[in-house]
Amino acid sequence: MKFSLTLLLSILPFFSMAEAQATYRVFLKFFPEEAQMWGYAVSNDRFVQGNTQVEFTETPDQKIEFWLHGELKIDSILSGGKKIEYESEKVLYWENYNLVGRKTSIDNSALADPNSLEIHYSGFFNPSQARSLSDYMRVDKKEGIFLRSAGYSLWCPFFSVPEIIKVDFDEITVDIPAELEVVVGGKPIMEKVDGERKISAWKIPELEIYDVQITARPFRKRSGQNVWVYYLEDDQKAQEITDFAQNLKKIYFRSFRPVQETDPLYIVQMPEYGNISSNNVIGISGDVFDEFETELYSKSTIAHELVHPYVHIPIDRNDPMAALVIEGFPGFFHFYGLNQTESKEEFDLKKIMLKRQSSYLKKKESGKDWRGNDLPQEKPILEISFDEIGLYKDYFILSDRVGLFLYHLWTKMGDEKFSEFLKELFALSSIDYGTLESLTEKYLPGYSATLNIWLKTNDFPESLRIIE
Ligand SMILES: [Zn+2]
């Protein structure tokens, strides 16, 4: 697999500092045994039934508009315990995998309780026949349940008016056949088996609504140090992945910051094309799972998600250093960890950074990525705002320029000094430009002017480039 493939990575919840705009309590009951794999439903009834209780942070002062997956219908909407009026229609909707969305509007004067709504819905999630193979989202009798959220398969309402991006998922409760295991994300708060059914509840604070998923299959589970591997059959492979993750955590612990408690990380074996991560859940497609030893993609994805808490320095979202600290550092330092594992040879840093350098130079010149898509506007690292992190992190500047900068520091300082520098950097309880400048000066006297070029300009002079 090509290394330049964008890693669809996400910011862990404890780095999200913007306030949530609503609180959701979601309850979903799935009947996958009634779902066929042929793209049509046998039951005319439904294979998912659920409701979402929404608590708005601010009372909507206008008409309310939200979206659900196109195969769902609204059963009823309540506010303050009373049924209220609404209008609902199926429309073409690019943000959903089957290109059909259900749009529902409510006049805010209809709300009995101005701060809350309870939306009941039911229907189907048939496989996509509209877009690409990577739209593997569906509820399937044989395979299980594979749902993402806004942008793919809307199993909870996505409000466009008022626009609600960040949600406190106070509780997501999933009711499934007992033989399945489910991963939602965040932290599990309850699980019980009740006869033929299993009920599993999860809590995810402050999350972008694009960044949540539900996966259920007849999984086996394996864990160590809060890293969970959910897999189908291959116990040995699952153990290798668990060992790999634990080993990396040890390396991060001694190289960066002695973090005691980390959030759980879920590594989940997905169907084909399921290499997609959201929040603290990493999806690995079956073929990548089988080829784990040789797949740089899965190793670096896991390494990246694990490194976040170890290279974090508390920072305000409005600080110009926020993007650098929140996604810039993690975007490089997982390589530093991988470089200390047995995979050292595969992760030849110089080769990787040379590739980044040439793709960065191409991107700078063309303004386009390797697929020919337009990139966001080029700007200095310290001018990328918190809200722009998602725009830059896997594509431009935060992924390449920041890596080239940190690699440059490493090669200039040498292994030993760089290691000391990192320990001191990640022991900081706050950071600003001056602190970073004096710390680099301490290990690399005279570096100030170079630091300024890296962080405050778009320049990439020959003198800073890696030579083959
Ligand atoms: Zn990340």
CATH number, domain at 386? Answer: 1.10.390.10
How far away, in angstroms, is 305 Cα from ligand 1 center? Answer: 6
Q: Which of 292, 311, 330 is the last residue before a domain boundary?
A: 311
- The answer to whether residue 310 scores a pLDDT higher than 90 is yes
pLDDT at 133: 65
Q: Which of 286, 311, 336 is the last residue before a domain boundary?
A: 311
pLDDT tens column, 428-440? 999 999 999 999 9
Pair 285, 375 in one domain = no
pLDDT at 3: 31
Pair 428, 452 in one domain = yes
| CA atoms within 13 A of residue 342's CA, in its CB half-sphere | 7
Q: Which of 210, 235, 250 is the last residue before a domain boundary?
A: 210
Cβ contact 102:72 at 8 Å: yes
Q: Which of 249, 242, 246 is nearest to 228 (CA)?
A: 242
Higher-pLDDT residue of 330, 98: 330
Cβ contact 18:166 at 8 Å: yes
pLDDT band of 468, cuts 50, 70, 90: confident
Q: Indicate whether 1 belongs to any domain.
A: no
Pair 265, 353 in one domain = no
For residue 317, CA distances in Å to 57, 310, 323 come to 20, 19, 8
Pair 229, 367 in one domain = no
Buried b (16+ CB within 10 A) or exposed e, 445-456: eebeebbebbbe
pLDDT at 125: 86
Pair 350, 298 in one domain = no
How far away, in angstroms, is 308 Cα from ligand 1 center? Answer: 7
Looking at residues 353-357, what average pLDDT do you find? Answer: 93
For residue 128, CA distances in Å to 89, 136, 146, 339 come to 20, 7, 12, 40
How far away, in angstroms, is 393 Cα from ligand 1 center? Answer: 8
How far away, in angstroms, is 333 Cα from ligand 1 center? Answer: 11
Cβ contact 306:40 at 8 Å: no
Which domain CATH number covers 105?
2.60.40.1730
Assigned token pair, 101: 């969305």
Q: Is 165 exposed, middle or buried (0-12, 13-18, 19+ CB in 10 A)?
A: middle
How far away, in angstroms, is 249 Cα from ligand 1 center? Answer: 16
Pair 200, 248 in one domain = no
How far away, in angstroms, is 427 Cα from ligand 1 center? Answer: 20
Q: Indicate whether 28 belongs to any domain.
A: yes
Assigned token pair, 174: 């999933």
Q: Indicate whether 6 belongs to any domain.
A: no
Pair 131, 265 in one domain = no
Nearest-10 crossing angle of helices 235-255, 296-307: 50
Average predicted confidence (pLDDT) for the chain: 87
Q: How far apart are CA 378 and CA 375, in angstroms?
A: 8
Pair 293, 363 in one domain = no
pLDDT at 44: 55
Q: Indicate whether 376 belongs to any domain.
A: yes
How far away, in angstroms, is 11 Cα from ligand 1 center? Answer: 5
How far away, in angstroms, is 414 Cα from ligand 1 center? Answer: 26
pLDDT tens column, 118-161? 999 999 888 776 666 667 788 887 788 999 888 788 999 999 99
Pair 358, 387 in one domain = yes
Pair 335, 407 in one domain = yes
How far away, in angstroms, is 400 Cα from ligand 1 center? Answer: 14
| CA atoms within 13 A of residue 75's CA, in its CB half-sphere | 13
> What residues flank ion ligand 1 with Cβ within 5 A?
9, 330
Q: Indicate whether 373 belongs to any domain.
A: yes
Q: Which of 52, 44, 60 is nearest to 28 (CA)?
A: 52
pLDDT tens column, 71-125? 999 999 999 999 999 999 999 988 788 788 999 999 989 999 989 999 999 998 8
Which domain CATH number covers 301?
3.30.2010
Higher-pLDDT residue of 183, 286: 183
How far away, in angstroms, is 18 Cα from ligand 1 center? Answer: 17
Pair 250, 379 in one domain = no
Pair 425, 351 in one domain = yes
Q: Indicate whether 7 belongs to any domain.
A: no
Buried b (16+ CB within 10 A) or exposed e, 226-240: ebbbbbeebeebbee
How far away, in angstroms, is 12 Cα from ligand 1 center? Answer: 7
How far away, in angstroms, is 309 Cα from ligand 1 center? Answer: 10
Q: Is the peptide bond before 162 cis (omega within 30 degrees of 0)?
A: yes
Q: Indicate whether 358 belongs to any domain.
A: yes
Q: Residue 361: give the domain boundaries.
A: 322-464
Give me the phi and psi of 404, to 5 degrees please.
Answer: -65, -40
Assigned token pair, 237: 């492979």
Q: Which of 453, 404, 405, 443 is nearest to 423 (CA)?
A: 443
Looking at residues 155-178, what average pLDDT do you find? Answer: 94
Q: Indicate whether 116 belongs to any domain.
A: yes
Number of domains in the chain: 3
